[in-house]
């Protein structure tokens, strides 16, 4: 059983020309290996024009969001597609955690009604779920400590095709989950609470509130404005995804 490991990064891929050409070559090779998956089909999946995809495979310049979508469509590791390298995956039962790596345990979250701003979530470590072992450079990139991060397991299909039921995600926990006290980056993925139920969703700021969005088009966006924002808690931002690639 392999692991599909996704290191979430932001911004436009602006690598040097050699790296850009190598990315374009990996994209072309992945398309060639994927039966029935054409540039036109990739364009439809990513919601862009065929001319845009043609530019990707020619130049290797592609936004991070579209790279993640292309990797999902082609069933390849986004980090490999971007860099040509694989993120090292280690399990503490298999070998000691080496220097430069940290273990992130899995937790279950219990939250109460969110009408009390002082209400705190209860985190219970799940010992039956293996910790994720991640390179310290990932935490340095996001300027967080491993002790500030938690692993949770995705439940449901609302975030498909980016997240699937059973995926493991690591998020940086915010010290104050009240929505007005958390640094929200539009379109990024967060672990949130809505009326006592925790979810993993994309968030964007709107006038006097927030939009909660799923990747699965079967789920409609939910707007929370004014006093309705009291229903929300934003526990942290997802920085890493791990999936059993069956």
Per-residue confidence (pLDDT) for residue 212, from 0 to 100: 94
- For position 85, what pLDDT does the model report? 65
pLDDT of residue 118 exceeding 70: no
Higher pLDDT, 205 or 109: 205
- The first and second tokens of residue 238, run together, are 């997802």
Model pTM? 0.63
> Which helix (H) or strand (E) is 72 found in, with range?
helix 64-74
Average pLDDT, the chain: 79
Q: What is the mean pLDDT of residues 112-116?
A: 44
Sort 115 into a burial class: Cβ within 10 Å, 0-12 / 13-18 / 19+: exposed
The torsion angles phi and psi of 205, rounded to 5 degrees, stand at -80, 140
Q: What pLDDT score does 75 carry? A: 73
**pLDDT higher than threshold 50 for residue 14:** no
Contact 226, 208 (CB under 8 A): yes
- The bridge status of strand 189-194 relative to strand 232-245 is antiparallel
Strand partners, 202: 189, 213
Q: What percent of the chain has pLDDT over 70?
A: 81
190 has a pLDDT exceeding 90 = yes
- DSSP state for residue 99 in the 8-state scheme: T
* Per-residue buried b or exposed e for 166-192, using 16+ beta carbons within 10 Å of the residue's own CB: ebbbbbbbbeebbbeebebeeeebbbb
In three state form, how does the secondary structure of 35-69 look?
Answer: CCCCHHHHHHHHCCCHHHHHHHHHHCCCEHHHHHH
Higher-pLDDT residue of 60 and 222 is 222
Q: How far is CA 109 from the centre of its chain?
A: 18
């Amino acid at each position: 059983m392999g692991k599909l490991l996704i290191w979430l990064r932001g911004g436009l891929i602006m690598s040097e020309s050699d790296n850009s050409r190598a990315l374009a070559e990996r994209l072309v090779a992945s398309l060639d290996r994927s039966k029935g998956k054409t540039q036109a089909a990739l364009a439809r999946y990513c919601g862009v024009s065929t001319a845009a995809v043609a530019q990707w495979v020619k130049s290797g310049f592609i936004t991070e969001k579209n790279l993640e979508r292309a990797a999902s469509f082609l069933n390849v590791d986004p980090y490999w597609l971007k860099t040509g390298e694989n993120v090292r995956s280690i399990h503490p039962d298999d070998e000691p955690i080496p220097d430069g790596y940290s273990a992130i345990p899995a937790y279950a979250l219990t939250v109460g009604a969110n009408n009390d701003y002082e209400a705190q979530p209860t985190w219970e470590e799940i010992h039956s779920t293996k910790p994720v072992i991640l390179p310290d450079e990932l935490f340095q990139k996001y300027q967080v400590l491993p002790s500030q991060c938690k692993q949770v397991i995705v439940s449901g299909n609302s975030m498909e095709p980016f997240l699937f039921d059973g995926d493991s995600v690591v998020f940086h926990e915010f010290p104050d989950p009240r929505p007005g006290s958390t640094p929200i980056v539009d379109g990024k993925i967060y672990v949130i609470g809505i009326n006592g139920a925790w979810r993993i969703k994309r968030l964007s700021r709107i006038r006097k509130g927030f939009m909660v969005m799923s990747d699965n088009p079967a789920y409609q966006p939910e707007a929370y404005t004014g006093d309705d924002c009291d229903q929300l808690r934003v526990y942290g931002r997802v920085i890493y995804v791990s999936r059993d690639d069956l």
